[in-house]
Every structure is written in structure tokens, then in C-alpha cells.
Amino acid sequence: MSDREELKRIIQERSILKGDFTLVSGKKSTYYINGKMTTLSSRGLYLTAKLLLELLDKYDYDAFAGPTIGADPIIGALLTLAAGKGLEKEGFLIRKQSKEHGTQKLVEGNITKGARVVLLEDVTTTGGSLIKAADAVKESGGEIVCIATLVDREEGAEKNLTEAGFEFQSLFKVNDLL
């Protein structure tokens, strides 16, 4: 079984729930994809990071970033695998809102002006949270090289992110999984 087929099976077994759900976008759905159930398992996270690193090989970038909580394990795994390949990368976590104490940063990590950033998420629906996260990275001095996700629910994210000027990649489309 290929790594991609194995990851697909893990997502199908661990992350796809059936029922009545309200998504972050406010839309109703008869299924829910909880990517964290895959990325918080050792094999699921390893395969996610391995396949994403391969997908991102064609880009020139300095860092991985994404909205906290969905991107957190992915960023950690990508940093680890990148180091194992001798690549020096940074990681940034993007808060929904800046904290009211300490540095009050919205983007955590050693972001520098001109940093070329790959923005990541576990599951995308409309892309709204990724556009906000991209804005936070840009306001902190970074530039978005591309946006990548584990699963695209195919409910507007690709169109919305492309129209906002971003290149969008996904390891899986929802129709690959259902």
C-alpha cells in the first residue's frame, strides 16, 4: 500500500464522522471531517507531513505557518521531517486573536520581514480562516508562497483562496475520501 493510500485509509477510519453538523463557516453538513483525529495519531501525522513535504518540494519557502489548533501538529511534524532532510525552516502559529499579555502577538514564532511562508490547515471548507491567517502573516512581514491542506471539503476554499491571489494545494479532496 502506498503512503497516500495508507493516509487515505487512516483519514477515512479516524476523521470522517457521519451525522448532522454545523461547520465553522456556518454551513450544515451530514458529515464532519476532524483532521486532528488523523494528525494527532503518530502514523497519520507522519504520513501527512511526509506527503505535504513532497508536495511542497517545488516551492521556495522559509517557514510553515497555520491557524492554531488544526495546523499545530502538522507544523511540528513538518519541522521535524525538514530537519531530518537537512532543511532549516521556521514555524509560526497564528492565533485567532492576539493575546492581551506578553508580546500580544497574533503570529507566534520568529517571523522576519520577507519570510516566504507556506500556510497550512488540516481541513478547509470556504478558506475564510486561511485568508485571515494569511493577512496576519502579511501584517507580520511575511509573504505567502502557497496554501496547503490535508483535506479540501470542496465547498469554495480553492475558488476563494485563488481569487484572493493564493496558490492552493490539497493532499485530498473530499470526494477522494467519501
* DSSP of 79-98: HHHHHHTT---EEEEE-SS-
**Mean pLDDT across the chain:** 93
Is 96 within the bounds of a domain?
A: yes
H helices present in 56-163, as ranges: 72-84, 128-139, 157-163
Q: Check residue 23 and give its pLDDT.
A: 75
In this model, does residue 100 exceed pLDDT 80?
no
How far apart are the C-alpha atoms of 168 and 6, rounded to whole Å? Answer: 23
pLDDT in tens, 4-34: 999 999 999 999 999 999 877 787 889 999 9
pTM of the full structure: 0.93
Is 27 within the bounds of a domain?
A: no
CA-wise closest residue to 7 among 43, 54, 53: 43
Q: Check residue 24 and give its pLDDT.
A: 72
H helices present in 15-126, as ranges: 36-39, 42-55, 72-84
Q: Check residue 139 and give its pLDDT.
A: 93
- Taking residues 24-49, report their average pLDDT: 93
* pLDDT tier, 104 (very low <50, low <70, confident <90, very high otherwise): low
pLDDT in tens, 105-116: 788 899 999 999
In this model, does residue 50 exceed pLDDT 70?
yes
For residue 89, give the CATH number of its domain.
3.40.50.2020
Is 58 within the bounds of a domain?
A: yes
How far apart are the C-alpha atoms of 56 and 168, rounded to whole Å? Answer: 11
How far apart are the C-alpha atoms of 49 and 137, rounded to whole Å? Answer: 21
- Taking residues 129-154, report their average pLDDT: 96
Please give the tally of structural domains in the chain. 1
Is 9 within the bounds of a domain?
A: no
